[in-house]
C-alpha cells in the first residue's frame, strides 16, 4: 500500500494573517522520513462544517489527514467536535487526559475548572496522545482505513507528539513503508546558482535524491535515500565539493544563531553587538534561542553619529574623515562593543568579543564609491580588531538580513579559525 497524506491547519488566526503557519513543514518533513508524501495542504477556520468539508475533500485524495489547532478550551476550539461528527462518534471524558490536565494546571499554579476540562473530552474510539509540555492532548481517530491525526497548534508541543507517537503509529499501520535516510546540509556565503553548479558537476549515488531550498540568505540541500550510509556519504561528498567552511549546520533545528550560541559557550566567549543599518536585527537573532544570556551581553543600536561617539567611543575625527559607513568606523564600533562586554567580567574568566555592522541599506544614501547594499562588519577580540567590507544587491530588508547573517558568519568563522571571504582591513591592537 502506498499511503498519501494531507495537512489541515485549523484556525482563523492563520487565515486573517495574525500568525504564520509553520506546522505544515514539520508534518511534511516527518512524513517524508517514512516515505509518506503529502499531496495537499489546506487551511480552514474554526467552523465544524468547514472542517468536515475539508475532511471530505482531502480523504478523496489520501488516507491520512494531519490537523493542528482547535484543541484549546475556548468556544471556538471545535476540532474535537468536528472529528466526532465526521467519524460518527461521540465525545467522552477521558479520565487519564483529565488527570494530566489537572496536574498541568497545578504545576502552573492556575485554577482548573470546567472550561479547561473541555480539553479532556475526546472521541470515544480515538487513541489519545499525551501532551507532556502543554495542556491540550492530541488524538488519532481511525475508521475504514482512514486516519485523522489531531495535534495542538503550538510548535513546541506538536513536535515531540509528532515524533514520539504519530510517526511510530503510522509506521505500525503501514509496515511496508521503509524509513528513509535524510541528510540536511545548510550553507551560507555562496549564491544558490554557484552551489547548484557544483552539485551538478559532482558525482553522487543516483539512489540519493537532492532537493534545494533557498531560505534567504542561506541555501539548504536535502538528500534522501533508502540507505543511511549511502546518503551520508553523498552528503559529505557535496560538502567537500562546495567547501566545508561554507557549511554551518546539518540540522533544520540548528540555525546560524544557534551555531554561534554553541560555539561562543564552548569557547567561553561573551559577545556584545553594535548595530547601525540592521537596527537590532543581529541582537534579535542571537537572542532567539533559550540560554542566550550565557554568552550574549547586549548591544547598542547606534544609528546616529552622535550615539556612535557617545555610547561606543567612535572618534569624531574618524567619522568626519572616513564617514559612518567605513572600515574605520566599523572597527571602532566593534572595539566599543568589546569594551562594554568586558566591563564587570572577571579578568581572564571569559573572552570578550565585539561585533559591529554599519552600512547603507537603502533605498537612498548610496554613492558610486559606496552603493546601496554596501556594509562593513567589524570584529574585535583581545587579540585583534578587523573589519570586512561586503556588498549585497537587494531590497532594504534583504540587505539588512544578509548583513545580520554575514556578521554571525564572521563570528562563526572567527571561533572556528576560518577565513572570512570579504575585503578586509586590519588594525592590530
Which residue do the cell numbers 557544483 mark?
198
Find the length of the chain. 429
CB 148, CB 67: distance < 8 Å: yes
Instruction: Work out the angle at residue 117's Cα, subtended by the Cα atoms of residues 114 and 123, and round it to the nearest 5 degrees.
Output: 130
CB 157, CB 130: distance < 8 Å: no
Which pLDDT belongs to residue 342? 87
Residue 85 CA to residue 71 CA, distance in Å, equals 15
The 10 Å Cβ neighbour count of residue 16 is 9
pLDDT tens string, the chain, 429 residues long: the values are: 689 999 999 999 999 988 889 899 999 989 988 889 999 999 999 999 999 999 999 999 999 999 999 999 999 999 999 999 999 999 999 999 999 999 999 898 888 888 889 999 999 999 999 999 999 999 999 988 899 999 999 999 999 999 999 999 999 999 887 778 999 999 999 999 999 999 999 999 999 999 998 789 999 999 999 899 999 999 999 999 999 999 999 998 899 999 999 999 999 999 999 999 999 999 999 999 999 999 999 999 999 999 999 999 999 999 999 999 999 999 999 999 999 998 856 655 689 999 999 999 999 999 999 999 999 999 999 999 999 999 999 999 999 999 999 999 999 999 999 999 987 775 544
Instruction: Work out the angle at residue 395's Cα, subtended by the Cα atoms of residues 391 and 401, and round it to the nearest 5 degrees.
Output: 65
Classified as helix, coil or strand, 247 is: strand
Q: At what angle do helices 256-266 and 396-415 cross, to 10 degrees?
A: 30
Residue 429 CA to residue 209 CA, distance in Å, equals 50
Residue 47 CA to residue 83 CA, distance in Å, equals 12
What does the block give as the cell for 217?
A: 540568505
For 113, phi and psi rounded to 5 degrees?
-120, -175
CB 231, CB 223: distance < 8 Å: yes
Distances (CA, A) of 375 to 289, 334, 390: 26, 14, 5
Q: Which letter, b or e, does each residue of 66-87 get, where b requires 16 or more Cβ atoms within 10 Å of its Cβ?
A: bbbbbbbbeeebbbbbbbbbbb
Q: Which letter, b or e, does each residue of 213-232 get, where b requires 16 or more Cβ atoms within 10 Å of its Cβ?
A: eeeebbbbbbbbbeeeebbb
Rama region for 19: left / alpha / beta (φ>0; ψ in -120 to 50; rest): beta
Domain limits, the chain: 5-173, 181-249, 256-427
CB 208, CB 230: distance < 8 Å: yes
For 289, phi and psi rounded to 5 degrees?
-90, 145
In the CATH scheme, what is the code of domain 256-427? 3.90.950.20
Tell me the CATH class for 5-173. alpha beta
Euclidean distance between the first and final Cα of the chain, in Å? 68
3-state DSSP of 6-55: EEEEECHHHHCCCCCCCHHHHHHHHHHCCCCCEEEEEEECCCHHHHHHHH
Residue 174 CA to residue 71 CA, distance in Å, equals 27
Residue 361 CA to residue 374 CA, distance in Å, equals 8
Closest CA to 342 of 380, 386, 388, 303: 380
Tell me the CATH class for 181-249. alpha beta
Residue 296: cis peptide before it, omega within 30 degrees of 0: no
Residue 295 CA to residue 353 CA, distance in Å, equals 10
Two domains, one topology: 181-249 and 256-427: no
Amino acid at each position: 500500500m502506498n499511503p498519501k497524506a494531507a495537512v489541515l491547519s485549523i484556525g482563523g488566526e492563520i487565515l486573517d494573517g495574525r500568525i504564520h503557519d509553520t506546522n505544515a513543514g514539520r508534518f511534511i518533513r516527518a512524513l517524508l522520513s517514512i516515505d509518506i508524501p503529502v499531496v495537499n495542504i489546506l487551511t480552514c477556520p474554526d467552523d465544524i462544517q468547514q472542517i468536515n468539508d475539508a475532511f471530505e475533500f482531502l480523504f478523496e485524495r489520501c488516507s491520512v489527514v494531519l490537523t493542528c489547532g482547535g484543541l484549546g478550551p475556548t468556544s471556538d476550539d471545535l476540532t474535537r467536535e468536528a472529528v466526532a461528527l465526521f467519524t460518527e462518534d461521540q465525545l467522552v471524558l477521558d479520565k487519564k487526559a483529565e488527570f494530566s490536565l489537572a496536574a498541568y494546571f497545578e504545576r502552573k499554579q492556575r485554577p482548573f475548572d470546567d472550561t479547561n476540562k473541555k480539553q479532556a473530552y475526546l472521541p470515544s474510539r480515538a487513541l489519545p496522545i499525551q501532551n507532556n509540555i502543554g495542556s491540550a492532548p492530541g488524538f488519532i481517530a481511525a475508521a475504514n482505513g482512514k486516519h485523522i491525526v489531531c495535534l495542538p497548534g503550538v510548535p513546541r508541543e506538536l513536535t515531540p507528539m509528532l515524533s514520539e507517537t504519530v510517526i511510530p503509529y503510522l509506521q505500525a499501520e503501514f509496515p511496508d513503508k521503509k524509513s528513509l535516510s535524510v541528510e540536511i546540509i545548510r550553507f551560507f556565503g555562496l549564491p544558490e546558482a554557484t552551489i547548484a553548479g557544483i552539485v551538478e558537476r559532482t558525482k553522487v549515488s543516483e539512489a540519493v535524491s537532492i532537493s534545494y531550498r533557498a531560505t534567504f540568505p542561506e541555501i539548504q540541500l536535502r538528500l534522501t535515500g533508502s540507505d543511511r550510509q549511502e546518503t551520508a556519504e553523498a552528503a559529505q561528498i557535496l560538502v567537500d565539493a562546495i567547501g566545508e567552511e561554507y557549511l554551518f549546520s546539518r540540522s533544520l533545528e540548528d540555525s546560524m544563531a544557534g551555531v554561534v550560541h554553541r560555539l561562543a559557550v564552548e569557547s567561553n566567549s561573551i559577545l556584545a553587538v553594535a548595530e547601525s543599518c540592521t537596527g537590532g536585527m543581529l541582537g534579535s537573532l542571537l537572542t532567539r534561542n533559550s540560554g542566550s544570556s550565557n554568552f550574549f551581553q547586549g548591544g547598542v543600536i547606534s544609528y546616529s553619529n552622535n550615539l556612535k561617539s557617545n555610547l561606543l567611543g567612535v572618534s569624531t575625527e574618524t567619522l568626519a574623515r572616513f564617514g559612518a559607513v567605513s572600515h574605520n568606523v566599523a572597527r571602532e564600533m566593534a572595539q566599543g562593543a568589546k569594551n562594554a562586554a568586558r566591563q564587570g567580567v572577571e579578568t581572564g574568566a571569559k573572552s570578550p568579543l565585539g561585533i559591529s555592522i554599519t552600512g547603507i541599506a537603502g533605498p537612498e544614501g548610496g554613492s558610486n564609491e559606496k552603493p546601496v547594499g554596501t556594509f562593513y562588519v567589524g570584529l574585535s577580540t583581545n587579540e585583534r580588531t578587523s573589519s570586512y567590507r561586503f556588498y549585497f544587491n537587494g531590497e532594504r530588508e534583504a540587505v539588512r538580513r544578509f548583513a545580520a547573517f554575514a556578521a554571525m558568519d564572521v563570528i562563526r568563522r572567527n571561533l572556528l579559525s576560518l577565513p572570512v571571504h570579504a575585503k578586509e582591513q586590519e588594525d592590530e591592537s
